[in-house]
Chains A and B, each alone.
Chain A
Amino acid sequence: MPLKMESKTVGGVTVVRCIGRIIFGDEAVALRSTLKNILATNKKILLDLSEVSYIDSGGLGTLVGVYSSARSAGAEIKLTGLGQRVRDVLQITKLVTVFEVYDSEPKALAAFH
């Protein structure tokens, strides 16, 4: 199942809803290029992962990679809608302490301002 991404802009923030699995290979590549394209024009991205059923080590690497390069370029990526699986992975890897994670889209959007 390929990773689908839908994006919309709310109050200057691009909200990217990911649907599917974020795994090593085409999915991770697609996520990286989508986020890089958005970052070229908008420095505020909210990733909605509520419909991400699974993220593997490769997907996680991509997420952190994009996140770090966005940070150093002065951009912000926040996360919301973490399902149990994704939350577990971020917990185990302690990356939950690195990402800014919010319970809901409105809370995350508010945090951008």
Chain B
Amino acid sequence: MAIGSASNPGIERTSGAFPCLVLVQGQEQKSVVLDHSPFSIGRKIDKDLVISDPRVSRDHALITSEEGTFYVSDQGSKHGTFVNGERVERQKLQRNDRLEFGVRDGAYVIFHPVTATSNTAREFLSQIAGLEISTDTTDLEKLTMFLDAARKLNTTGVLDEILVTVADTTLKLTRAERAYVFLKGEDGSLRLAAGRNSKGEVLIDDTTISHSILDEALHSASEFLVTDTSQSLDLAGRHSIVAYDLRTVICIPLRKPQVQAARRDPVAPSTGSGTEIIGALYVDSRFASRDISSVSNDILRAIATEAAQLVENARLVQAEEESRRYQQELAIASSMQKGLMEVHIPEVPFARVSGRNLQCKEIGGDFYDAVSTEDHFAVFLVDVCGKGVSAALLASTLQGMVYSHLVARMPLAEIVAAVNRFFTQKHLGEKYATMVIARISRDGEMEYVNCGHVPPLLVSQEQVVRPSAGNLPVGLLADATYESSHVQLQRGDRLLLVTDGVTEAENARGDFYENERLEAVAARSSSLDDILSSLANFCGGTPLSDDCTVVELVYTGI
């Protein structure tokens, strides 16, 4: 059974501002954020949560948010919706409720579980919540409390948690009814990031706030904007204020803290209109509720500065987290690449192949592989120009092409011509590869093609020959032509393929390892380890600047 989330493919978010659903299926867990209402569940592919099991109906259930409370309602499903084992038509949801859709023995969903990992901010928040703010608490005390919150929260790394806490703390300080935190997206538009009411409930709908005031605050140069509708005569265009009976709206633009600018020009206020806006804090209360227009300006100024600092820090932490995740992705790609490049050398009675590879970066551009067909045995060594991910991508593609063409027993010159055509047609910029393919038959007849590669070493009875026949690298020039060559091998003859990382390995003096040293050691030893240790001795402590690969093909005869 496949489980997918149509609204959030592949993306997992921590929940803090919005409740989440955790899907549990066997050992697998997946978290989906309930960031809109209604949230649909069913087998149909356009559902917010898709559960592809025949026992789940196409339109199975909806989760809706009604004034901060969440309800699940069955949409006439065939096999029913269950909350904590009870079949329900419509049911109010509480944290940790277990939801099942048609399937009683398969996947289930936990509504907004209380997790151990996201509690730091919450715990701290509950401490603050425990403090009753009496009416005679001075502004200074409130300010201290906020600063304290700011300092403590800087140590937590979860952006959503911080935003919720900013909203809650602002509600505490202003004693407003609702608080929303907006963050500016990459496209410059504001996106609701957290919403809370004074009862501590989650608000995910921002249609009932005054967007005109929000806009006005963002375009004004002031630190905050307090709108008391009972004092304001001009309500034209303020639809929300009229429609939702809003009395006081406070809007605080969150401006990127600018330490550098302030230092360069001490006269300029750090919260001037020129500074970049990263978001906004919006609080309001209705006529029916208390008047919040008398909130001290000091408090609002403190919130403006501290909240911006908090959000900015949280964003930095999140960026770090994203880059860490990106690093993980790269590590996965690297291990996949290693898996693809892992060589399984087939055994044939008349030849033997061994290879060694020293990588100087996590993902390298050198690779080799061997293919056996009915009465031929082929080995190829490729060096893709450049390093890192782009080289690895090209390497994987090349490997697949060469491998499959060899299996199809195509002539070597045609294989490299096809690869060259493919890469030059795809316009990969200045990416290309050098390679050698050698294919021997049972009787020792060897065909090889060298495309811009270091000439191979043919070792016959301790004599080293360097066949110089060669062609252009593949991927550089569309009109390149390729020719292969033939050599008759005797039993015991060895063909040694190396990448230029070997011949161009440097020692501390800046000398290259060179062909002479390579040929000398190849002549006297048939062990690849001897070549590598000769290389290591030469380089001393100087790190390799390019991948080094050595592959040996020995014709053992029949």
Contacts and interface: CB of A to CB of B under 8 A. Distances in A.
A61 B394 CA distance: 14
Overall SS of chain A's interface: helix
A92 B387 CA distance: 20
A56 B473 CA distance: 14
A93 B429 contact: no
A111 to B, nearest CB: 21
B455 interface: yes
Contact of A57 (B383, B455, B477): B383
Contacts of A92: 452-455, 470, 500
Interface residues of B, number: 22
Given A62-B430, A92-B455, A93-B434, A24 B386 contact: yes
B149 to A, nearest CB: 46
Contacts of B453: 92
B430 A95 contact: no
Contact of B470 (A56, A68, A94): A94
A24 B546 CA distance: 11
Contacts, number: 53
Contacts of B473: 93, 95
B385 A60 contact: yes
A60 B432 CA distance: 10
B452 A93 contact: yes
Interface string B363-406: 00000000000000000000101110000000000000000000
B98 to A, nearest CB: 56
A64 interface: yes
A20 interface: no
Given A57-B500, A61-B431, A95 B472 contact: yes
B22 interface: no
Q: Which of A62, A64, A97 has the most CB of B within 10 A?
A: A64
A24 B454 CA distance: 19
Contact of B385 (A57, A68, A97, A98): A57
B385 to A, nearest CB: 4
A69 to B, nearest CB: 10
A61 B452 contact: no
A64 B430 contact: yes
Q: Which of A57, A97, A98 has the most CB of B within 10 A?
A: A57
Nearest to A60: B385
Interface string A57-90: 1101110110010000000000000000000000
A93 B472 contact: yes
B229 interface: no
B477 to A, nearest CB: 6
Nearest to B478: A68
A24 B501 CA distance: 14
B415 to A, nearest CB: 17
A25 to B, nearest CB: 10
A84 to B, nearest CB: 11
Interface of B: 383, 385-387, 429-432, 434, 452-455, 470-473, 476-477, 500, 504, 546
**Which 5 pairs of residues, A with B, have the shortest CB-CB distance?**
A61-B430, A93-B452, A57-B385, A65-B430, A64-B476
29 contacts: A56-B504, A56-B546, A57-B383, A57-B385, A57-B386, A57-B432, A57-B500, A58-B430, A61-B385, A61-B386, A61-B430, A61-B431, A61-B476, A64-B476, A65-B429, A68-B476, A92-B452, A92-B453, A92-B454, A92-B500, A93-B452, A93-B473, A94-B470, A94-B471, A94-B472, A95-B452, A95-B473, A95-B476, A98-B477
